[in-house]
Each structure stands twice: as structure tokens, then as C-alpha cells.
Homo-oligomer: A and B are copies of this chain.
Amino acid sequence: MTTLNTTDPRTGETRPTAIVATAPAEVAEITARAAAATALLRARPRAWRAGLLRALADGLEADRETLVDAALRETGLAAARLNGELTRSAFQFRLFADAVEDGGYLEAIIDHAGPTPLGPGPDVRRMLVPLGPVAVFGASNFPFAFSVVGGDTASAVAAGNPVVVKAHSSHLLTSQRSFESLAAAASAYGAPAGLFGIVYGQEAGGVLVADPRIMAVGFTGSLSTGQILQSIIDERETPIPFFGELSSLNPLVVTPGAASARTAAIGEGLFISMSGSAGQLCTKPGIAFVPHGETGDRLVADVVARAEGAAAQTLLNSRIHGAFDEIRARLISSGGARSLVAPMRGDEGFSLTPAVLEIDAARVTAEVAEEAFGPLIVLVRYAELDEVRRALRAVPHSLTATIHSEPEEATLRGELTDAVEDIVGRIVYNGYPTGVRVSWAMNHGGPWPATNTQHTSVGATAIRRFLRPLAWQDAPADVLPDELRDGAVDVPRRVDGVLELASR
């Protein structure tokens, strides 16, 4: 039996935990329990599941102190940030409860029998149904919102699926306590025993993805780890959907008008966005286009001054801490960027201060458009729109793009929008891409390599990932789900081509 270690990134100190790597046979038992829970879950009405999600949210908040305390010691993130993240995770469960109650996510459609140009048509009714047990792999940088109690878990359960999480090696104890919180709240609510499972250790993660009872995988992390999980799926007898949020550089463009009108405000906003949570956010702006000239120079100087005055921040683990310097060196040597502010390492643990690089737009290549996880930004200086357009073609597709412009720059704003709309999943205007709102409309996804799918991992529509359509043809009412029976129902439906609101 291998016991696993936990590390405090604030000190770099590693100590053993009582957690043992999950053996393959045990993984199989956990997925078997999840599979057994699938039918039980399906038999419960939507209102029951909405109540479950709210119970999970309440449980999280009741366990706030223990959870934040564990995360403080394992992630080095600030208490305010971790408390906010826990609040966000609880809110996320409640938003999904609202979505489940609303029922629009079922995409219920009824075509009554009737004549068609091809002869008599049968009665056809369709809605989305759960896939079955979902494996969830959380991210190092969000110990709550993208981990055991995060969006993948919330959306998979909202869809009606059991969830087996793989505990992240960078916050093992936080994962364990998060799981205990979920399991206790679910049990008190009367949920089937196999609703939640957890496995520990890298090998167990691989076994989990290969397990034939697992029907989908949600993942937030690095492109390279994502590709390893995809290759395990490719070896399965039955392929399953893999929803990976993989990487993002998040270009930000400041127009000449905005640079001139809001020099200091943008300097401040950009610095906060790129250095908050030590720059370890998937939506961190990693590359920002600033015009040449006097106001652009002042904006750059503002960012530089803030970076020079910043205290060291703690990174999540030694791998990220080590990779940061390596990538920064490559951006300079291969990418041709100039260092404006070099990072300084703190006295203890995995800490450092922010780094600022600069390059001319004409020199932007893929080599300087590599994501550096941590507080680093490349400022790209440009003279005209065409330079931005050309440089953007070297930037990997991203979760977000941001455009800062002034009201009178409508033409330029339109041209910049055209330049980014094919390469990102969200366009932010006069704001910052970090601080993703958890809401109905949010899209947190983008063209490859930002994600590998046509879906979001944040917001109410994330539920769609863990559902598939099922149709019933000429079905007697006794086999139909409540939502597809004739008469008044509590979900919106399209009936004979016409959308109808819920009749409550």
C-alpha cells in the first residue's frame, strides 16, 4: 500500500498523509457502486435532484472552515480567495438546482402523430437523459470550483449521473474533505450510496478512465495530461466523451483610444488580472496588445511599476514553480521577447514575483505565444490593426479574448471582434477575462486547444455534456417520463414545432 504525501507550497514542506493510493480492484468496486446508483437516480424526479443539489451546497457552507483550512495548507492561495471560491461552488450547485427545476435543459420535444409529405408520421417524443457514471478530474488551481465540489461534479449530478472524482495530487486532503462533505450531505438527504466516489493516485486515475462503467470524463488541466487521458480512452473497447479544458493564452487588445483615455485604469486592471491568484487562472490574459507611442508607453510603464512593487506570491506546486522559469526563458530565447520585469523568488516555498515581457507585434510567433502558468504577461506593441490581426494568427485558440476600446471606435471594435470571434469562446469588452461569472449564459470553452469540445464547463449549459438524447415512438403513457406526457407539465417543450413555456 502506497501512502500519499501532501505539500505546503508556502514552505515547500512535504509530509505523509493517511491517504492510500486506490488499488485497481477498489476502483472497480467504486465504479460498480456508481453504476448501481445510476438507475436509482433515474427513478427520482427532478425536484428531488434539485433538493439534493441544494443540500450539497448547504453542506459545503457548513463545512467551510475545515475545507478552507485544508486548502490554505495545500494550495498557498489566500483565505479570501478560497472563501470566495467555496461560496462560488455552493452558488454553482444552487444554480444547477434552478436549472434542473426549470427543466429547459431536457430539450423536451413532442411531435404528435399526423400526416406529413411522406405519409402518416408516428408520434415521436424526445428528451435528454443521463449518460451514467462520470469521472471528474479537477484542476490544481481551483481546489473547490474546478475540483471535487466543482462545476463538472455539479453539472454531472444535475444531469442525473453518479460521479467518481480523482483527487488532485496538489490538494489531496482538501479533496478528501470535500468528498466527505458531499457524501455526508448526500447520505443525509437519502441519496443512493454510489452517488459519489473518490479515487487517489495517478494509477487509479488511469484505471478509472479505462473502467467500462465510466460513461464520460470531465477534466480541467494541462494539454499534456488531457492527451494522456484521451489516449487511455482511445484504448477502451467503448469510446466515451472526454470534456477537457486544456490551455488558454487569452489575448487582450487595447485600442489607441482606450490606451489614451484609460491609461492608468487599464494598467491597473491588466496587472490585477494577470497576477491575481498568482496568475494561475485559465483565463489569465497572457498576452496583451498595447499601441506604440506615448500613451502605450505609459500604460506599459504602469504595469511594470506595479510588477516591480509586487510582493512574492505562492505558486501551487513545485512543478508549476519550476516550469515558470523554463517557459519564461523560452519566451525570451526562442520567442524573442524582452524582459521588462524579471521575477524574483521568495525566501520560502514556491513563491515568486510577477514577470513582464515585451515584444513588437511584427515579431510575434508561436514561440512567444506559449501559456506560462503563473504571474507573467507578454505585452505586444503594435502600430496598426493589421499587425494585431497577423500576430493573433500565431496565438493558440483560447477561452477568451478581450477588447478595450472607446465608444467612438465602433469600426475598429467591429474589426477586432471579427478577428477574434473564430478563435475564442468568450469576448470581453472593456473588462478582464478573469473572474468567470457562474450564470445561465456563461461560456467557458473554446476552439482547440482551449478545449476539445463544443461545450462549456461553466454555467448552466454545462449540463448538456453529461446527457444524450433518447426518443420514444408511439409510446404508451405508462413508459414515458412525466415530462413527455400530454397535458400540463413543469418544463418548456417544443410541441409540433412550437415552443411552449412550462405550464406552472
Residues of chain A touching chain B, judged by Cβ–Cβ distance below 8 Å, are 39, 84, 87-88, 91, 98, 102, 104, 107, 109-111, 116-118, 121-122, 124-126, 129, 131-132, 234, 238-241, 407, 410, 413-414, 417-418, 421-422, 424-431, 437-443, 445, 447-449, 452-456, 459-461, 467-476, 478-479, 492, 494, 496-497, 499, 501-502
Contact = CB atoms under 8 A, between A and B. Distances in A.
A91 B111 contact: no
B427 A102 contact: no
Given A122-B437, A497-B440, A428 B473 contact: yes
Assembly stoichiometry (copies):
2
Nearest to A496: B440
A413 to B, nearest CB: 6
A95 to B, nearest CB: 9
A85 to B, nearest CB: 9
A116 B437 contact: yes
Given A109-B461, A417-B479, A442-B471, 15 more contacts: A102-B497, A111-B440, A122-B431, A124-B437, A238-B447, A238-B448, A410-B476, A427-B472, A427-B479, A431-B473, A437-B473, A441-B494, A447-B468, A455-B469, A499-B502
B239 A448 contact: yes
Nearest to A494: B440
A91 B110 contact: no
Contact of A91 (B118, B132, B417, B456): B118
Contacts of A459: 126
B440 A109 contact: yes
Q: Which of A102, A234, A424, A454 is packed against the most chain B CB atoms within 10 Å?
A: A454
Q: Which of A447, A461, A473 is packed against the most chain B CB atoms within 10 Å?
A: A473
A421 B111 contact: no
9 contacts: A129-B421, A413-B479, A425-B469, A425-B471, A427-B470, A427-B472, A429-B475, A429-B479, A454-B469
Contacts of A492: 499
A429 B474 contact: yes
A465 to B, nearest CB: 8
A437 B431 CA distance: 48
A499 B104 contact: yes
Contacts of A452: 239
Given A422-B132, A501-B499, A478 B413 contact: yes
Q: Please name the 8 residue pairs, one residue from A and one from B, whose CB atoms are nearest each other, closest first.
A: A443-B471, A109-B441, A126-B441, A426-B471, A454-B468, A124-B441, A111-B439, A428-B473
B241 A87 contact: no
Contacts of A109: 440-441, 460-461
Contact of A437 (B121, B428, B468): B121
Contacts of A478: 410, 413-414
